Amino acid sequence: MRFTDAYPDVVALKEIIAQLEQQRRSELDSYQKNTESLGDPRATSTSLVTQNLQIALNEVELEIASTSAQVADHQRRVNELRSSINTLPEVEAELTRLNRDYGINKAQYDALVQRLESARLSQQAENPQDVVFKIVDPPVLPLRPAAPNRPLLAISVLLVALGLGGALAYGLSLMRPTFLRAADLQKAVGNIPVIGHVSNVRSKGMIAAHRLGLVAFGSLAGVLFLTCGVVLIAARRWDALKPMFLGGGL
């Protein structure tokens, strides 16, 4: 696109060449006229003017040769660039075609490799003599349950029951407050003097009912602890006897 006939450098070089050729022709004409006026050129070749003209002529011819070489080089480059202009689209099209063919061939190759691996796996599955199964760790029936931990569960239930009972008793005491001493009553009513107090006199029926309540409470507490102990002992005994029962088909 650069070194065309309309490129400024090419136009300038052509103008210089034309000027130099015109100068060369004018100098040759003047030289011929001088030689004709002087007579035989052989006799006058040693004159200073002739030598200067000859030197100038040689310089002009050298410059013309150099300029002609430059023009030829530029013309060669112009031809190369023109051929490249015609070749580059073809190369790009060829590259695109090769990339497309490579993608298609690669996809087909991957599909064939996958089919080959599938065929190998199916062939290995069809030949059971090549497949060896080894039992690394035989199944074992556990002797104890995974969950829950029955002793811990029984102790937790006992503790939770005791905590709930204590919380219930404390709640009832808050709902129906009582004063055990006169000093507590005096503090509760704002340090008002307490003149006296009447002690609680229980009858025989009340004493019997109170004792009965204590006996019932102790019995229930004992039953609770006894039940917890029985559960713990039964859990231990069951863990010890379970293999025998399971081995006997039960």
Q: Is the pLDDT at 250 greater than 50, yes or no?
A: no
Q: What is the pLDDT of residue 240?
A: 60
- pLDDT, mean of residues 22-38: 73
Q: What is the pLDDT of residue 132?
A: 66
Q: What is the pLDDT of residue 43?
A: 46
Radius of gyration over every alpha carbon of the chain, rounded to an integer in angstroms? 63
User: By the 8 A CB rule, do 218 and 230 touch?
Assistant: no
Q: Is the pLDDT at 46 greater than 70, yes or no?
A: no
Q: What is the pLDDT of residue 207?
A: 85
Q: What is the pLDDT of residue 180?
A: 74
Secondary structure of the chain in HEC code, one letter for each residue: CCCCCCCHHHHHHHHHHHHHHHHHHHHHHHHHHHHHHHCCHHHHCCCHHHHHHHHHHHHHHHHHHHHHHHHHHHHHHHHHHHHHHHHHHHHHHHHHHHHHHHHHHHHHHHHHHHHHHHHHHHHHHHCHHHCCCCCCCCCCCCCCCCCCCHHHHHHHHHHHHHHHHHHHHHHHHHHCCCCCCHHHHHHHCCCCCCCCCCCCCCCHHHHHHHHHHHHHHHHHHHHHHHHHHHHHHHHHHHHHHHHHHHHCCC
Q: What is the mean pLDDT of the chain?
A: 76
- pLDDT, mean of residues 13-22: 82
Q: Using one digit for the tens of pLDDT, what is the confidence trace for 118-175?
A: 888 777 766 656 556 677 777 777 666 676 777 777 788 878 888 898 899 888 878 8
Q: Is the pLDDT at 244 greater than 60, yes or no?
A: no
Sequence ranges of the domains in the chain: 8-95, 150-193+211-247
pTM: 0.31
Q: Using one digit for the tens of pLDDT, what is the confidence trace for 69-108?
A: 888 888 888 887 777 777 777 778 888 888 888 889 999 9
Q: What is the pLDDT of residue 249?
A: 42
